[in-house]
Amino acid sequence: MSLQATLSTSTSGLAAAQRSLSAVANNIANTNTEGFSRKEVRNATLVLDGIGRGVTSGDPERAADVYLNAELRRQESMLGRSERLKGALERVDSSVFGEPGEADRGLPAKLRTMVAALEGAANNPEQAASRGALVDAVADMTAQLKADHATVHQFRRDFDQEIKQTVDAINADVKGLQEINVEAARSGENAEMLDRRDALLTSLSQKIDVKTAWIDDGKLAVYAGNGQPLLEYTPRYLDYTPAPVVQDDTVFGAVSIYTQNQLDPATGRPKPAETGTVLISGGVRAALTPELQADATPDAEQTIVSPVKGGRLAALIEARDDVLPSLSDQLIETGVILEYTLNRAHNDAVPYPPPQRLSGTPVPGTVAAASGTARLTVVDATGAVAADLAIDVGTYNTPAALAGEISTRLGGLGSAAWDAATETFSIDLGLDGAGKPYGMALDAGDGAFTVTDAAGRGLSYGMAHYLGLNDLVVRGRAQGVDLDVRADIKADPALLAGVKVDRSGGAPVVGGIGDNGGLKALAAAVDEGIATVGRGGLGPATRSLNGYLTDVVSVNAARVAQADRQEGADRALAEDLRFRQGAVSGVNLDEELAKLQLYQKAYSVSARLISITSELFDQLLQIGR
């Protein structure tokens, strides 16, 4: 080998050692850099005319396992979903039901207070304070229901806004990946570029489940989990507009995908006339209630369908369209049980002294059947019975027919009226011979109206209950859980119906101020079961107010616990995959220091060879002189 060949070979070794030293230094500097993959310089023997002429080395290459990286991204997507869903469920559960150990917060605490107040009033019917405490406790219970229902919809609005933020973040990641595609096509790929691309793919996977593929010129294509393209030759744009107000009947818009030529260059948003490809459909919720299934709007227009199974977007869609609507349903069902059971007991009794006038609005729904006999007892100021009417509700089964029959039977004692325009039924009594007002007492007897509501549930009502003549809890215009104590009772708790007609001796007897029959019935109402509709994981069954609320708390606590377990399992698998990835791509300082010493020696030896060759050249020059 000539001195020139020796010099050339030594120089190539020096250059290779320099490249390797540079790669090691870069690895050590990025030991704690997120998303950094260890770089290695691959050396190969340089052969000219079949003879080794030193070493050649290329640009640093990443130490990476492509398949392991893809599996980690898939798991990051699952963890993104379970982590966000767990956080959402925990936040909702603690806000509505309180933290464990907080005995004075939430609906269960309000129910306990109401039960205690009901029992206190039943045991002390003559005490104004106990009646006032009862009214306050029922009002607090209805107020808590409304507040919790409003909280649920505030969370739905928050998550809806977060869906918009997540969609925007997905667009930013897709745009970043497209920029790398362009850069790679222009100047070729390098190891640092691949790291940036993997970091963007990981970020994107945490938001939505994706699949990747390679297309022409080595460009990366990205697809949503259902196969719809997010990035092919050009990036797609995801568009979503959150709802300004969220209620049970809010119709959410779709998450749609648009191509670049569908966007307005000035705004970056879709042109008004353009229609995108639907990724997540618009609608009211994921699973329709019986009421929505029975309405006039086609179910397909109301059902939100999402193919997104991973990432934060999947968790937010699930929370907004499934978890929270289910909890809203359960709160509404709690209100239905509260309203029905308390009003059933309250309508079967009257305040003392018995009222001269009663009025109300019939319960909404369809009367499926009516049968039996209800009783209307009229007493004078001394408590003597002036009339005891048996009303055949099977024959007179409409408000108009009942008004006519009661007016006829009362004769000169009073009259009943039905105002169809305002949907108000009323009974008014006159004055007795002493010029004092007559009073009335109602009891359901065996008379019953079976009313089918919008959910398809059939409930049995006594006559007064059906007509709403003496409700304790009244419903506002907003429906749902818009409940409150009747205004006049709220203002004067003495109007609580504490007296029941006693027919045990044959002739009716209307008790006095010490009669607690009506209040005892109110206290027992919280444990009386009614047929409930399946709501959010609670199947149809006969449940009391107390039992139903206990089940609501339990099923939501179980859902939080399941989310916690799923998040733990997903996190454990993701951490295991990260550890494996680290073993392949991570920087081990001990190994890098060992390589540093090896390359340092190689550099020193190559430099020594160059020095020796240089000396030999000098000697040859001296000989030539």
Separation between Cα atoms, residue 88 and residue 97, nearest integer Å: 14
404 close to 395: Cβ distance less than 8 angstroms = no
- In whole angstroms, what is the distance from residue 290 CA to residue 455 CA? 5
Count of beta carbons in the 10 Å neighbourhood of residue 122: 20
Percentage of the chain modeled with pLDDT above 90 = 64
Q: Measured between alpha carbons, how far is 302 from 343 in angstroms, rounded to an integer?
A: 33
Helix (H, G, I), strand (E, B) or coil at 468: coil
Of 282-291, 330-339, 521-530, 593-602, the range with the lowest mean pLDDT is: 593-602
pLDDT score, position 564:
96
pLDDT for residue 355 is more than 90? yes
Q: What local confidence, expressed as pLDDT, does residue 588 receive?
A: 80
Sequence length of the chain is: 625
Mean residue pLDDT of the chain comes to: 90
Close Cβ partners of 189 (under 8 Å, ≥ 6 residues apart):
218
First to last CA, the chain: 24
Percentage above 70 pLDDT, the chain: 97
Q: What is the 3-state secondary structure (H, E, C) of 510-565?
A: ECCCCCCHHHHHHHHHCCCCEEECCECCECCEEECHHHHHHHHHHHHHHHHHHHHH
Segment 380-385 shows an average pLDDT of 90
3-state secondary structure of 61: strand
Is-contact 516 123, C-beta < 8 A?
A: yes
- Checking 416-419 for CB contacts under 8 A at 24+ apart, the result is none
pTM for the structure as a whole:
0.88
State residue 104's pLDDT score: 67
What pLDDT digit, counting tens, does each position of 457-477 carry? 899 999 999 999 999 999 987
506, two tokens: 């044959």
More confident residue, 166 or 506: 166
Residue that wins the pLDDT comparison between 361 and 41: 361
What would the pLDDT profile of 385-431 be if each residue is shown by its tens digit? 999 999 999 999 999 999 999 999 999 999 999 999 999 999 999 99
Q: What is the pLDDT averaged over residues 96-115?
A: 81
Determine the longest span between alpha carbons in the chain, in angstroms.
155
Q: How high is the pLDDT of residue 514?
A: 67
Q: How far is it, in rounded angstroms, from Cα 545 to Cα 524? A: 11
Q: What is the mean pLDDT of residues 98-112?
A: 78
pLDDT at 24: 78
Q: What b-and-e string marks burial along 439-465, b requiring 16 or more CB atoms within 10 Å of the CB?
A: bbbbbbbebbbbbebebebebbbbbbb
178-227 per-position pLDDT tens digit: 999 999 888 878 888 888 999 999 999 999 999 999 887 778 999 998 89
78: nearest Cα among 614, 566, 605, 425? 566
Degrees to nearest 5, angle at CA 116 with 110 and 117: 85
The count of other CB atoms within 10 Å of the CB of residue 350 is 29
**pLDDT of 333 above 90:** yes
d(CA 508, CA 439): 14
pLDDT tens digits for range 480-497: 799 999 999 999 999 999
Q: What is the pLDDT of residue 573?
A: 95
Give the Å distances, CA to CA, from 97 to 103, 107, 246, 272, 337.
10, 7, 21, 44, 18
